[in-house]
Amino acid sequence: MLRLGVYALAICIMVGVMLGASWALGPRRRGAPDPNPFESGILPLHDTSIRFPSQFYLVAMLFVIFDLEMVFVFAWAVAVRPAGWLGYGGMLAFLTLLLLALAYLWRSGALEWGPARKTPTLKNKAWRA
């Protein structure tokens, strides 16, 4: 129990030192904030409030989800022998679930980048005839 108390005290001291250092070393500007966005020190040439299609955000979220699963697969690969067949079954179920999610996203069109394709319906065919 003493070790836990020492650990908690060390964390509190470390957080206090970091907060104090950021307060002491931080900028002291009192004026209005700069309206220009910070672009690696380069002044913007045009308006930076460009609307991006939602596919960019969707692909970014899908990348995070499917990239994060690699962390679990790598951790399983490191401990595959101690995990045994139970760990193998769990990882197989996990990967199957991810493949089903990917198949669902593919079928629902979440991975499509081009314009939406219109599927011909009976109503459209009757209208053209």
Write out the chain's pLDDT in tens, 129 residues: 789 999 999 999 999 999 999 999 987 777 777 666 666 667 667 766 777 777 778 878 888 888 888 888 888 888 889 989 999 999 999 999 989 988 998 888 877 776 666 665 555 555 555
Instruction: Copy the structure tokens of residue 11.
Output: 């964390």
Q: Which helix (H) or strand (E) holds 99?
A: helix 80-108
CB 73 within 8 A of CB 96: no
Its pTM stands at: 0.48
CB 76 within 8 A of CB 87: yes
The amino acid occupying position 75 is: A
